Amino acid sequence: MADSVADATAALTDDGCVPLAGGTWIMRASIRGEAQSRRYVGIGRIPELNTIDVKDGEIRLGACVTHARLVESFAGLAQWNGLAAAAGAAANPAVREMATVGGNLSTQDFFAADLPPALLSLDAAVELVRPGGTERLSVGRYLDVRRTLEPGALMTSIVLPRRPMRTGHARLPLRKAGDYPVAIVSMAAVLSSDGRVDVIRIAVGSVEPAAGRWTELEEKLLGRPLDPDTAHEMAEATADTFTGRDSVEAPGWYRVKVLPALVRRATQAVLSSR
């Protein structure tokens, strides 16, 4: 167990050493027949990785802040409706107490994670301590490079820009709750006084192996009045940009097929988040 970021990064310079935060993914590796690392460094006790720091222009989440703490901190705040919905619906109550925001972004084989699309829609960034110094990457960029980070790198925080946006998160599990969603749509928008879209960011999770932006749909919605029917129609016209992943829970075509319905729900959530 590391007591400081310096302790953790020193241990991580040993190639093959992996950071262990909430443990909810790593501890299942043996039962799922997945590769296990020979060495782990526990980072859950490092104080700065457990703080939530609210500043004027941004909010800094320590990488080990849990889903449950996100809900406690952000529920009921209209601007963060999407993030609270994502953190509050994932997995089950006990896992939400353990699983961390940094772990959720870093478990590269967890395709159905809720926080990556939510954080993409919020234009969040990730702060990494690397051997050469501290670096800030967009969440999208982090998702691209997370498999190839050099030994010694550690994500320390997630930075949320504070903007006057309205946000929503729509997910479709096959049961009412408790299982993995087959598809996720997160949306954040800034609307003008007449309800037109000034800025919009839409992200999709669980459909493809990594969460990603839906820029074709964002472009179509820009400048139009935001309403659920229009958003649904535009989503149907652009959903073929996704290639759904097949799995035992759902075939790939189904994940794509439900996207327009989730766009409608996410739009409704955005419009009601005041």
179 versus 219: smaller Cβ distance to another protein: 179
Give CA–CA dist 159/153, Å, rounded: 17
Residue 18 Cβ vs another protein, minimum distance, rounded to whole Å: 11
Q: Judge whether 19 and 40 are in contact, CB under 8 Å.
A: yes
34 versus 144: smaller Cβ distance to another protein: 34
96-28-210 Cα angle (round to 5)? 70
Residue 183 Cβ vs another protein, minimum distance, rounded to whole Å: 19
Which residues contact another protein (rule: CB under 8 A)? 1, 20, 22-24, 27-28, 31-32, 40, 42, 44-45, 68, 91-95, 97-98, 176-178
Residue 240 Cβ vs another protein, minimum distance, rounded to whole Å: 34
114 versus 123: smaller Cβ distance to another protein: 114
Residue 32 Cβ vs another protein, minimum distance, rounded to whole Å: 7
11 versus 239: smaller Cβ distance to another protein: 11
DSSP for 177-239 reads: SSS-EEEEEEEEEEE-TTSBEEEEEEEEESSSSS-EE-HHHHHHHTTSBP-HHHHHHHHHHHG
Helix then strand then coil, in percent of the chain rounded to 5, is: 40, 25, 35
10 versus 98: smaller Cβ distance to another protein: 98
Residue 98 Cβ vs another protein, minimum distance, rounded to whole Å: 6
